[in-house]
A and B are shown apart, each in its own frame.
Chain A
């Protein structure tokens, strides 16, 4: 795997994490915003400037890919590389959680 991409995304921002999680199924940016709002009981509302910037950056980094356009909304989907990155990040978070549990 691309070491540079790994460095940039592990650990990743919460925004990037939610984008990768949600794009395991193809969706557009606003769809991700709505999903995250529902998943977190309205606690996290992703903002459009952040979403737009993150999606285009993540597309360039090839962790997500453009699928098609629908009603002026770009639909994206996670790539294989994105999935690998997401798994690494999940392992990292799991490790942190486990350590915290053992310490308490």
Chain B
């Protein structure tokens, strides 16, 4: 069977883009097989079909995996895999009455975003405030070790950029949900 790989990078809160990408590929005759590594998407050739792809982020669900997946398969969603805490599901559009998603109200979409925040951003933020910042301050003011300070400073700057991007994405996403 003909297969192909594509490298794609989606940042946090871009799971909707990722869903659209997988749906588009399926429409063009490339069925999603799996995602691995740092964003390598594997596909196999298929007859073009409109299939809706959806991502959920739910740690509690993964801890009760059987029961979690059962709920989705009862509703006609095929579970594909887990990747970086996300669960991948798909359902052919032909089996739906109109558009269907795995979330049906804004409250639950927002709750998923909060779970992503908690699961992915919070750990980074804790490392940042408990390790990096104290290290930077100690190196500058106590050890006067400016080479190390510059190095840690660089990492701190990188973190700040990442947080800023996340905050921006968060508010953009929130705005979209409120429309």
Contact for A53 among B66, B74, B100, B108, CB less than 8 A: B108
> Could you tell me if A73 and B70 are in contact, using CB atoms closer than 8 angstroms?
yes
> Could you tell me if B97 and A45 are in contact, using CB atoms closer than 8 angstroms?
yes
Decide if A33 is an interface residue (CB 8 Å cutoff).
yes
Interface size class of B (residues with CB under 8 A): 20 to 34
Min Cβ gap B166→A in Å is 21
Q: Which residues of B contact A53 (CB under 8 A)?
A: 58, 108, 111-112
Decide if B75 is an interface residue (CB 8 Å cutoff).
yes
Interface size class of A (residues with CB under 8 A): 20 to 34
Decide if A87 is an interface residue (CB 8 Å cutoff).
no
Q: Which residues of A contact B111 (CB under 8 A)?
A: 53, 57
> Could you tell me if B75 and A47 are in contact, using CB atoms closer than 8 angstroms?
yes
Query: Which residue of the partner chain B has the closest CB to A73?
Result: B70
Decide if B1 is an interface residue (CB 8 Å cutoff).
no
**Chain B positions 43 through 77: 1 when the CB is less than 8 Å from some CB of chain A, otherwise 0:** 00000000000101010110000111011101101
Per DSSP, chain A at the interface is helix
Q: Which residues of A contact B101 (CB under 8 A)?
A: 47, 49
Decide if A4 is an interface residue (CB 8 Å cutoff).
no
Given contacts A15-B104, A15-B108, A57-B111, contact A52 B68 (CB under 8 A): yes
> Could you tell me if B70 and A47 are in contact, using CB atoms closer than 8 angstroms?
no
A82 CA to B159 CA, complexed, in Å: 44
Q: 23 A–B contact pairs at CB < 8 A? A: A13-B105, A15-B105, A15-B108, A30-B74, A33-B75, A42-B97, A44-B104, A45-B97, A47-B102, A47-B103, A48-B71, A48-B72, A48-B102, A49-B56, A49-B102, A50-B104, A50-B108, A52-B61, A52-B68, A53-B112, A56-B60, A69-B67, A73-B74
15 further contact pairs, Cβ within 8 A, besides A49-B108, A73-B67: A15-B104, A30-B71, A45-B104, A47-B100, A47-B103, A48-B71, A49-B54, A49-B58, A49-B72, A49-B112, A52-B58, A52-B68, A52-B72, A69-B67, A72-B67
